[in-house]
Amino acid sequence: MNFDLTDERQMLQDSLRKYLADHYSNEVIRALAKSDCGYSKENWAGLAELGVVGALFSEEDGGYGGAGFDMALVFEELGRVGATDPLVDTAVLCGGILAALGHGEQKNLVESIIEGSLQMALAHAEPQSRYELSRVDTRVEREGEDFVLNGQKCVVVNASAADYLIVSARSEGAVAATAGISLFLVPTDTAGLTLNDYPLSAGGRAAEVQLDNVRLGAASLLGKQGDAFDTLELVHARATVAVCAEALGLMETIRALTTDYLKVRKQFGRPIGKFQVLQHRMADILIEIEQARSAVINLAGHVDGERDAREKHVSATKNLIGLVGKLVAEESIQMHGGIGMTEEYELGHLAKRLIMVDHRLGDATFHLERFVELAVA
């Protein structure tokens, strides 16, 4: 099998890597962590102008890519510099839902996302849902032509910067049933919608969202009422490709930083990288990263395939990435000694972001259990 990039993907990788190197230093990322929205609007506009957002959508949706390998390429490069831009939330999750279920004016919003002029966030997780996509307790009632939503959403990434939220709510069925879940397009200035915003530990911002009698017109419904679960599962699978590829980029940079440090840090008059025990530990890290890379490639190739195979690859890959990410972060910090924990050194942010990848879209334990359930089903 040929794993070489196509000419178009090679051009995108080269231009994106140069742009990120020019605009994303450790100092910039530390400053963004203290900002109101958690990312740079100027850099976001630059990424959109470069065509990075468009690479995440198919031609029929207005982009020029959209395949699993396009997403893997983009997010691995973003991971290499520890970027915190909300591409997963605005483009992969919400843009993917709009492309799949949007109609009329709703679908036109995809063009605004690709242009870089629109921010969005998916309000789906709830305090009791853990990582179960089907567990939705937020309720929607029909009152005449309107929908009325009541409930609570948690850890809604990019909510405070978003122009719209996509909110999930249940109109029928038990709390964990896959049937009965609907999605709604909600402007963030809608009456009854309250955001409690806070910074995330590895960059970016999220919010707790309270919905108190949020009244929406019939045009706010995305797709058919009660029939949104399959689309939610699909966009989460594509988002898993993105975060796993981001983790791969983070691992590569962390490995390079650690290798460089072992060459310059001296003990007993020679670089500590000359000690065999540290060489063996670095070899173990290299092998684990290569296994993670194979898993990401495998997932990227299956993400647009049949549901059963796709979801097995989603859980298998997310489990492996969680385990390898923890190993790489802990080993690298230990070999760096105290300097690895400092805010001023690049490794501190990269290691935190790598650890937090495991807690997005389901951690290693959750996906191990899910893979077993899928395998015996």
List per-block mean pLDDT (blocks of 10 residues) for the chain, which spans 377 residues: 82 96 93 91 96 96 94 97 97 98 93 97 95 96 96 97 98 94 98 97 95 97 97 98 98 97 92 93 97 97 95 98 97 91 90 94 97 93
CA distance 255 to 282: 8
- Using alpha carbons, list the distances in angstroms from residue 360 to 145, 155, 286, 353, 366: 36, 10, 24, 11, 11
Query: What is the pLDDT at residue 343?
Result: 82
* 221 & 135 share domain: yes
What is the domain count for the chain? 3
CA distance 211 to 194: 7
* 97 & 16 share domain: yes
Query: What is the pLDDT at residue 4?
Result: 81
Q: 80 lies in a domain?
A: yes
In single-letter form, the type of residue at position 174 comes to: A
Q: 291 lies in a domain?
A: yes
Q: Which residue, 118, 145, 161, sits at the end of a domain?
A: 118
CATH number at residue 71: 1.10.540.10
* 160 & 265 share domain: no
Query: What is the pLDDT at residue 149?
Result: 98
* 128 & 181 share domain: yes
- Using alpha carbons, list the distances in angstroms from residue 209 to 218, 231, 285: 22, 22, 40
Q: 179 lies in a domain?
A: yes
CATH number at residue 304: 1.20.140.10
Q: 2 lies in a domain?
A: no
In single-letter form, the type of residue at position 241 comes to: V
CATH number at residue 221: 2.40.110.10
Q: Which residue, 118, 140, 172, sits at the end of a domain?
A: 118
Whether the pTM exceeds 0.85: the reply is: yes
- Say if residues 12 and 73 touch (Cβ distance below 8 Å): yes
Contacts of residue 97, Cβ cutoff 8 Å, sequence gap at least 6: 122, 166, 183, 222, 231, 232, 235
Encoded tokens for 90: 């605005």
* 81 & 148 share domain: no
Q: 211 lies in a domain?
A: yes
CA distance 137 to 126: 8
* 236 & 217 share domain: no
Q: Which residue, 118, 151, 176, sits at the end of a domain?
A: 118
* 220 & 239 share domain: no
* 161 & 274 share domain: no
* 275 & 246 share domain: yes
* 350 & 240 share domain: yes
- What domain range includes position 73? 7-118
* 332 & 346 share domain: yes
